[in-house]
């Protein structure tokens, strides 16, 4: 309930726009805001943008971010641009694909400067119908490159580069390795998570902070 109220407060203000032209726009998505209304929510990023841009004929998401994740989110303003963006994100970080980087805070002292994690991921449903993901040999190939940014006594700050774009990929890879993301209510350390709001962290510490990609119309490389 508190999360929905917070997201509802966000929706009353215009979403921050990082970049916009005739083909696309880039939103700095707040944490706690879903991409679409539904599942008991009457609002989401797309509903907010359509309210913000009532004259826009076409606004569709080019990729996904978890509701709990903040940061760069690309939206197509033309069908032709959206098709190109979809192809880029399917290709991941290779070839013509988009290079997506995330910042995350994990529990524990991460020692490797760079670590390639290739662990297959399998999606399944809980009895409640909630979607979850786990590492499993019969899962889809998944590749994340982690780089150490800073390390403290109890926590480490990492950058994650996605080479594939599986559901909850960063969150599950970290949890499986024993370095759960701070504030992750699905895969994290639940005892730790209860203490973090008292220390000032009231959300999951995962942020889509940087992206490089060719512009879907001109092909010029963009750094967001």
pLDDT over 90 at 108, yes or no:
yes
Write out pLDDT tens, residues 137-157.
999 999 999 999 999 999 999
The mean-pLDDT minimum among 24-28, 49-53, 114-118 falls in: 49-53
Section 40-64 average pLDDT: 85
Q: Cα separations (Å) of 206 from 56, 69, 70, 174? A: 30, 5, 7, 12
The mean-pLDDT minimum among 39-43, 162-166, 216-220 falls in: 39-43
pLDDT over 90 at 44, yes or no:
no
Q: How far apart are CA 99 and CA 211, in angstroms?
A: 5
Section 39-57 average pLDDT: 80
Catalytic: 66? yes
CB 187 within 8 A of CB 66: no
The mean-pLDDT minimum among 31-40, 58-67, 89-98 falls in: 89-98
Above pLDDT 70, what percent of the chain?
Answer: 89
pLDDT at residue 114, as a whole number? 98
Catalytic-role residue among 66, 87, 99, 138: 66
**Does 147 or 130 have the greater pLDDT score?**
147
**Does 163 or 8 have the greater pLDDT score?**
163
Q: Cα separations (Å) of 101 from 17, 37, 209, 211? A: 19, 26, 6, 6
Global confidence as pTM: 0.88
pLDDT at residue 43, as a whole number? 75
Q: How far apart are CA 177 and CA 162, in angstroms?
A: 16
The CA-CA-CA angle for residues 61, 184, 101, to 5°, reads 50
Section 118-137 average pLDDT: 94
Write out pLDDT tens, residues 148-192.
999 999 999 999 999 988 999 999 999 999 999 999 999 999 999
């Amino acid at each position: 309930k508190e999360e929905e109220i917070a997201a509802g407060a966000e929706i009353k203000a215009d979403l921050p726009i990082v970049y916009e032209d005739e083909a696309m726009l880039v939103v700095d998505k707040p944490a706690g805001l879903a991409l679409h209304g539904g599942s008991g929510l009457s609002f989401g990023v797309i509903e907010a943008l359509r309210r913000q841009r009532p004259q826009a004929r076409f606004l569709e998401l080019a990729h996904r971010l978890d509701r709990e994740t903040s940061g760069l989110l690309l939206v197509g303003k033309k069908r032709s641009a959206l098709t190109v963006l979809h192809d880029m994100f399917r290709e991941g970080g290779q070839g013509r694909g988009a290079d997506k980087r995330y910042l995350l805070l994990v529990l524990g002292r991460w020692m490797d400067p760079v670590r390639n994690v290739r662990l297959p991921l399998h999606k399944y449903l809980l009895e409640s119908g909630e979607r979850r993901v786990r590492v499993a040999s019969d899962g889809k190939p998944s590749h994340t490159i982690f780089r150490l940014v800073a390390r403290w006594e109890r926590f480490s700050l990492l950058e994650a580069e996605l080479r594939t774009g599986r559901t909850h990929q960063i969150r599950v890879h970290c949890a499986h390795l024993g370095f759960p993301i701070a504030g992750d209510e699905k895969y994290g350390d639940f005892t730790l998570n209860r203490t973090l709001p008292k220390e000032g962290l009231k959300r999951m510490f995962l942020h889509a902070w940087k992206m490089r990609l060719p512009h879907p119309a001109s092909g010029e490389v963009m750094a967001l």
